Every structure is written in structure tokens, then in C-alpha cells.
Amino acid sequence: TQGQIITCKAAVAWEPNKPLVIEDVQVAPPQAGEVRIKVLFTALCHTDAYTWSGKDPEGLFPCILGHEAAGIVESVGEGVTEVQPGDHVIPCYQAECRECKFCKSGKTNLCGKVRLATGVGVMLTDRQSRFSINGKPIYHFMGTSTFSQYTVVHDVSVAKIDPIAPLDKLIVIFWFHDLCIRYTLHIGLGAVWNTAKVEPGSIVAIFGLGTVGLAVAEGAKAAGASRIIGIDIDSKKYDTAKNFGVNEFINPKDHEKPIQQVIVDQTDGGVDYSFECIGNVSVMRAALECCHKGWGTSVIVGVAASGQEISTRPFQLVTGRVWKGTAFGGFKSRSQVPWLVDKYLKKEIKVDEYITHNLTLADINKAFDLMHEGGCLRVVLSM
Ligand code: NAD
Ligand code: AHE
């Protein structure tokens, strides 16, 4: 198939909020600096649903969504040296070129090389899409578009992971299965390890106990936090959250006072670190304001809808609270995703526990319905 157009199945979002349609999509060969990947498994994330809903200012239609996946390199374009056909890889929505101002700064995991192109659904080389249906272009999404059996990504967005002995098909399947989730998981872990640098003994508040919040809890526990307070409007979330390190729970609906006040009262002045894992701007404010005067740090992980803005009294910052955010968990994608995979293999971080449902690409709309139900963490689709 190298150098040829591949026709395969992909879930196309034709319009905001309209059911995804499984279509036969033509995937062009990779050009210079690009990699074509056979996607084996993909997971669904609320960020996909958010763009699909039409609330993402960068959302473009028609497009192929999806950004959590694992697969095998099918072919590479000119000049690609770090991966070759057959390599096991994770496409990353955050690139790492190691050459741009961002990568060289040592201050951020963000990369500037391909972001302008990925933000408008095209490839950098020629500003075109590699996806089409009977000649009509379909936009890429987040530089990954993993709801397709084949996708084309920039080489700077591909993390190569340990090759595994091809013992038998089943093992390969389980292996990749885990990696889909690993990818999600590290967002939360990174928010704790990289962005907040939680110290042993810290008091941590986590707003929203979905997959991201649970991964933050796992990271906080590993960092030695003494109190990990989970806050969710769904009290059932505490049952699962206990297994990920959450040792106290508050449902804001059980209190008349604002949630930040409840937390300040219960923590002798506030928490050392808080994480907003919902995407709700008024909760972001509460998360900042429940932090301890002088040092409390609040990290925004949730993605808020187009037009939403955060606010607080500047006095909150004047008196030493710090407000920050994190993308891709603060991890350098190509360098650190393989390291995270090793940590999983050594059983140092959980993965399997985040998978609650397994379906196939054909059932993708059902998978999104499941995702919005209470008991669901991650749905993994086999392609
Ligand atoms: P989720 O929907 O599974 O979890 C959100 C949780 O928040 C749910 O348990 C819900 O009951 C709870 N909740 C909703 N409103 C609440 C409120 N007002 N107060 C308290 N709890 C409330 O979502 P998820 O998959 O865990 O993702 C969380 C957010 O993180 C999303 O916005 C997603 O887009 C974003 N995200 C960001 C990054 C990043 O790199 N910054 C990466 C992945 C996901
Ligand atoms: N397109 C949106 C922003 C979406 C956003 O914030 N995405 C997160 C990742 S969510 C993963 O599930 C992120 O890391 N953003 C950094 C980046 O470079 O996109 C908007 O508001 O325009």
C-alpha cells in the first residue's frame, strides 16, 4: 500500500451534533515529514464530544475526530527517520519537534512547529487534508484523527513505543488496548507531576471525578499527598474514586455555602493544590479560591466552551495564589510517552482500571452515548 491511496472506514462528523457516519474514506499517502498509521484502537474523550458539539472555536466540519489511540506505522514520507513501517506508535495531539522556540525553551511541553496547521485541520507541508471522500476534503482534528482505520500525522507528533514480541494476536490486541488508555491517563498524572509539583503531605482538591480527575488523584497519591479531596455533583463517583486515592469526598449539592468556602473551612485555610477537571468556568473560580493564601496553586485541566471566560478578584492572586493550566499533562510527547508506557509495564501506574467498555468503530455513536453515562470512564473502540 506504500505510496498508494488507501480506502478505509472512518467515522465522519459531517455537521455539529449530527450522528457520526461510518464512511469509506480515501487516505492519501504521507508526504515529506508525515507518517501514515494503521490505527488499531482508539478511545473516546470528552474533548472529541466538545468539538463535535460545535462549541470548540477551532472545530471544523466535516472532520474526522479522535485523539487517543495506538497503532502501527504503515508508511512514511520523505525525510522521516525516527519511525519506520511496522513500528508501534502513539499519535500525539501535542507535537515535539525539538527545534522550535517552545521546544528549546525548556519551559514548556508545547511545540510550535505544526500547531497552526493542526488548528485548522490540515497538514503543514501543503495546507491540505490527506482525507477525502470522492474528492471532497475532510478536515483533520488535533493533528491525529484517530476515528479512522488509517490516519496521516506529522512525524513530530508520533511517539514510538517499545516493540513487543508478536507472541500471538491476542496479546498484541491487549497491549494496544492498554496504550489507548495510558495516553488518556497520563494527562492527569502529568498535571500533578509536572505542572503542580505536588509535594508529600500536600492537601489536594480535585474538582470532577471523571477519567481525568481520577488520573490526577492517582498522580497525587503517588506524589505523597496526605489528603485528596474529590468534589463531584454525582456522589456515586466517590465509589470508584476511592480506588484511585481520593480519601475525602464533598458533593457541592449537600452544602448551602459556596464550595470554596466549604473546603477552606475543612482545611484550615485552604488546599495546597487544586485541579479543575470539568471544563466549567465557575468551578475554575472555586478551584482557585479554595487554595491556601500565600502558596496555593490551582491547575486548569478542563476544556471550557467557546466564549467562556474565567474571573476572580485579583486580590486572590495578589495574596499568593497561583493560577495555571496544563496541556498534555505537561509531558513532552515524543520523549515522555514511551517512558510512561514503561511505567505501565512495570505496573507503576494504572491503565486497565480506566477501561469500562469495549466496542468497535461501527458502534461509535453508541460509544459516545455510553461516555455520557455515569459509570463510564473510557470506551475503547477496536478498529
Ligand atoms: P467527565 O465528564 O468524565 O468528568 C467530569 C466530572 O465532573 C463528572 O464526574 C461530573 O459529574 C463532574 N461535574 C460536572 N459538573 C460539576 C460541577 N459543577 N461540580 C463538580 N463536579 C462536576 O470528563 P473527563 O473525561 O474526566 O474530562 C474532564 C475535562 O478535561 C474535559 O473538559 C476534557 O475536555 C478535559 N481534558 C483536558 C486535557 C488537557 O490536556 N488539558 C486532556 C484531557 C481532557
Ligand atoms: N480547541 C480548543 C482548545 C482545546 C484544548 O484546550 N485542548 C487541550 C487538550 S484536550 C485533550 O483531551 C490542549 O491540550 N490544548 C493545547 C493545544 O495546543 O491545543 C479551543 O478553545 O480553541
DSSP secondary structure letters along 177-238 = HHHHHHHHHHHHHHIIIIII-PPTT-EEEEE--SHHHHHHHHHHHHTT-SEEEEE-S-TTHH
Strand-pairing partners, residue 160, are 89
Query: Of the ligands numbered here, which is closest to the C-alpha atom of 216?
Result: 1
Residues of the chain with pLDDT > 90, as a percent, come to 74
> What is the residue with the minimal CA distance to atom 6 of ligand 1?
208
Q: Which residues line ligand 2 at a C-beta cut-off of 6 Å?
A: 45, 47, 56-58, 115, 303, 327-328
Judged by DSSP in three states, 213 sits in helix
More confident site: 32 or 169:
32
Question: Cα(33)–Cα(153) distance, rounded to whole angstroms?
Answer: 9
Q: What does the angle CA 29 – CA 31 – CA 35 come to, to the nearest 5 degrees?
A: 70
User: How much distance in Å is there from the Cα of 279 to the middle of ligand 1?
Assistant: 6
Q: What is the DSSP letter of 120?
A: T
Maximum Cα interatomic distance, the chain, rounded to a whole number of Å: 64
User: How much distance in Å is there from the Cα of 3 to the middle of ligand 2?
Assistant: 32
Q: Residue 125 above 80 pLDDT? A: yes
With contact defined as beta carbons under 8 Å apart, do 339 and 361 qualify? no
Q: Residue 289 above 90 pLDDT? A: yes
Residue type, 235: S
User: How much distance in Å is there from the Cα of 368 to the middle of ligand 1?
Assistant: 15
Return the residue matching grid coordinates 468534589: 231
β-strands 227-231, 203-207 pairing: parallel
Judged by DSSP in three states, 89 sits in strand
Q: If you average pLDDT over each of 12-16, 37-41, 70-74, 159-163, which comes out highest? A: 12-16
Question: 11-15, 311-315, 332-336: which has the minimum mean pLDDT?
Answer: 332-336
Strand-pairing partners, residue 382, are 41, 360
User: How much distance in Å is there from the Cα of 328 to the middle of ligand 2?
Assistant: 9
Question: Cα(111)–Cα(91) distance, rounded to whole angstroms?
Answer: 15
Question: 26-40, 56-70, 177-191, 210-224: which has the minimum mean pLDDT?
Answer: 177-191
User: How much distance in Å is there from the Cα of 67 to the middle of ligand 2?
Assistant: 11
Residues of the chain with pLDDT > 70, as a percent, come to 94
Residue 156 in grid coordinates: 513530530
Give the ipTM of the model, two decimals please: 0.95
Q: What is the DSSP letter of 268?
A: T
Q: Residue 167 above 60 pLDDT? A: no
Residue 198 in grid coordinates: 505536588
Is 205 a pocket residue for ligand 1 (Cβ < 6 Å)? no
Does the predicted TM-score (pTM) go above 0.90?
Answer: yes
Query: Of the ligands numbered here, which is closest to the C-alpha atom of 113?
Result: 2
Q: Residue 197 above 50 pLDDT? A: yes
Question: Cα(193)–Cα(190) distance, rounded to whole angstroms?
Answer: 5
Question: Cα(171)–Cα(49) distance, rounded to whole angstroms?
Answer: 30
Question: Cα(213)–Cα(52) distance, rounded to whole angstroms?
Answer: 22
Question: Cα(366)–Cα(48) distance, rounded to whole angstroms?
Answer: 14
- Closest atom, ligand 2, to C-alpha of 68: 12
Cis-peptide, bond into residue 62, ω within 30° of zero: yes
